[in-house]
């Protein structure tokens, strides 16, 4: 695991560099997309490089990590809509090449299985962007998640709903109770993992991720087993290392 400590803006540029070099090497790159605030500066940087340097996503495929269950199709916090707004629509990325688990499907387990199959059919994820929850979750794999888990339905912890209430007018009751998420086993099959974390509130999770024992109690620790994992953190998030 490679750990880089740098100011937030530099971290975003480093993540964008990794994505850009993958796209330039192989335009059909399969990118794993994360939501939350951590990747936002990366998406800004990619949009800038698209506008100024002609970086193209026209042949790329995108797969989202997770999705809330039951949010209306036009809800701005539905992760599909977030990803469309934050990155896909700001570059030349055809909408049908960016996919996520279907949180509105009638048969949710079937939607999870179909999603796994679509990732496999695309040849697997080349580069997966990740954030980390304050409780050490990645995607929505909350503490206690099996380290070998696949895409499935999960119940969100109270802590994650409180953390994410800021996206729902500060009202925790509006945050959905369930989600669909790629499993830790699914995420571990990506060829390169790039995790971003900034701020003191992430320090304990980053400490566990890098230095803690591998345990389902801190799901991100499974990344210690990955052959190509890059952890990009600012001073505050690195303060317990
Ligand atoms: C959510 C997302 C995760 C994200 C985490 C951290 O729970 N499902 O993918 O990593 O929040 O969010 P943030 O980057 O806003 O701190």
Q: How many domains does the chain have?
A: 1
* Proportion of the chain in helix, strand, coil states, percent, rounded to 5: 40, 20, 40
> ipTM higher than 0.85?
yes
Assess if residue 83 is contained within a domain: yes
Give 14-17's long-range contacts (Cβ < 8 A, gap of 24+): 14/232, 15/39, 15/42, 15/45, 15/129, 15/194, 15/196, 15/232, 16/42, 16/45, 16/46, 16/49
Assess if residue 197 is contained within a domain: yes
- 11, 32, 33, 36: which to mutate for ligand 1, most atoms within 8 A of CB? 36
Neighbouring residues of 191: CB distance < 8 A, sequence distance ≥ 6: 124, 125, 126, 127, 228
Assess if residue 239 is contained within a domain: no
Distance from C-alpha of 151 to C-alpha of 166, rounded to nearest angstrom: 26
**pTM of the entire predicted model:** 0.97
Ligand 1, CB within 6 Å, residue ranges: 34-38, 65-66, 131-133, 139-140, 160, 164
**Edge-to-edge strands of the sheet including 229-233?**
2-5, 229-233, 192-197, 127-130, 30-33, 61-64, 98-99
74 in active site: no
pLDDT for position 198: 98
CA-nearest residue for atom 9, ligand 1, is 139
Assess if residue 80 is contained within a domain: yes
Q: Which domain holds residue 87?
A: 2-233
pLDDT for position 86: 98
**Edge-to-edge strands of the sheet including 152-155?**
66-68, 178-181, 152-155
Assess if residue 121 is contained within a domain: yes
pLDDT for position 37: 93
Assess if residue 77 is contained within a domain: yes
pLDDT for position 62: 98
pLDDT for position 238: 98
pLDDT for position 6: 98
Tell me, what CATH number does 201's domain have?
Answer: 3.40.50.1360
CA-nearest residue for atom 11, ligand 1, is 36
Assess if residue 18 is contained within a domain: yes
Tens digits of residue pLDDT in 150-207: 999 999 999 889 989 999 999 999 999 999 999 999 999 999 999 999 999 999 999 9
Stretches in the chain below the pLDDT threshold 70: none
137 in active site: yes
CA-nearest residue for atom 6, ligand 1, is 133
Assess if residue 136 is contained within a domain: yes
């Amino acid at each position: 695991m490679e750990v880089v400590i740098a100011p937030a803006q530099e971290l975003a540029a480093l993540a964008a560099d990794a994505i850009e070099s993958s796209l330039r090497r192989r335009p059909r790159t399969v990118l794993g997309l994360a939501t939350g605030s951590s990747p936002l500066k990366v998406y800004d940087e990619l949009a800038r490089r698209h506008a100024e340097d002609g970086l193209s996503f026209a042949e790329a495929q995108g797969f989202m990590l997770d999705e809330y269950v039951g949010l209306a199709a036009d809800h701005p916090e539905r992760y599909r809509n977030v990803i469309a707004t934050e990155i896909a629509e700001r570059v030349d990325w055809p909408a049908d090449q960016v996919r996520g688990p279907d949180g509105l499907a009638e048969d949710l387990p079937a939607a999870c299985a179909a999603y796994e199959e679509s990732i496999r059919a695309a040849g697997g994820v080349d580069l997966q962007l990740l954030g980390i929850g304050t409780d050490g979750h990645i995607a929505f794999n909350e503490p206690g998640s099996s380290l070998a888990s696949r895409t499935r339905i999960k119940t969100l912890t109270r802590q994650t709903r409180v953390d994410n209430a800021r996206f729902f007018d500060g009202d925790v009751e509006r945050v959905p109770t369930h989600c669909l998420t790629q499993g830790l086993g699914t995420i571990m099959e990506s060829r390169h993992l790039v995790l971003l974390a900034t701020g003191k509130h992430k320090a304990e999770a980053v400490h566990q991720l890098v230095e803690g024992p591998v345990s389902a109690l801190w799901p991100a620790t499974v990344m210690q087993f990955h052959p190509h994992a890059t952890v990009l953190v600012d001073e505050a998030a690195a303060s317990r290392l």
